[in-house]
Amino acid sequence: GAGVSQSPSNKVTEKGKDVELRCDPISGHTALYWYRQSLGQGLEFLIYFQGNSAPDKSGLPSDRFSAERTGGSVSTLTIQRTQQEDSAVYLCASSPQISPGQGMINEQFFGPGTRLTVL
């Protein structure tokens, strides 16, 4: 079946512009995650959705970053007033139904990422 898809695959923008990154999770997966992969930094967690709600936004680096998820499916990560330090690969992942706090965790399936370059 289809995996996690992300668009665009590459985005070049000018400092100060807003950008929107899109993630289409695997059909039926209720959990969705955004991560950022910066050079030499590994992968940093940004935000976690369970359905349409986001119980964990602790990784968003500033209030310029926001994300939403509608219909329990597609998610959009928005970065306002982009800065050069926002340049990174933004990865989306999804996983099947899970009950937070129940001591369970599922494998996360990752998309190919969006490479963002801020000039």
Partner 1 sequence: AQSVTQPDIHITVSEGASLELRCNYSYGATPYLFWYVQSPGQGLQLLLKYFSGDTLVQGIKGFEAEFKRSQSSFNLRKPSVHWSDAAEYFCAVGARGGATNKLIFGTGTLLAVQP
How far apart CA 59 and CA 47 sit, in angstroms, is 6
* Complex with partner 1: residue 3 or 16, whichever CB lies closer: 3
* Complex with partner 1: residue 33 or 65, whichever CB lies closer: 33
Residue 81 C-beta: closest distance to partner 1, Å: 26
How far apart CA 99 and CA 31 sit, in angstroms, is 10
For residue 85, give the 3-state DSSP assignment: helix
Residue 4 C-beta: closest distance to partner 1, Å: 7
Residues that bind partner 1 (CB under 8 A): 4, 31, 33, 35, 40-45, 48, 55-56, 58-59, 91, 93, 95, 98, 100-103, 105-113
Residue 107 C-beta: closest distance to partner 1, Å: 6
* Complex with partner 1: residue 67 or 111, whichever CB lies closer: 111
Tokens 């990560």 -> residue: 77
Residue 42 C-beta: closest distance to partner 1, Å: 4
* Complex with partner 1: residue 63 or 107, whichever CB lies closer: 107
Beta bridge partners of 94: 32, 109
C-beta neighbour count of 58 within 10 angstroms: 9
Residues ≥6 apart with Cβ < 8 Å to 119: 12, 13, 14, 15, 84
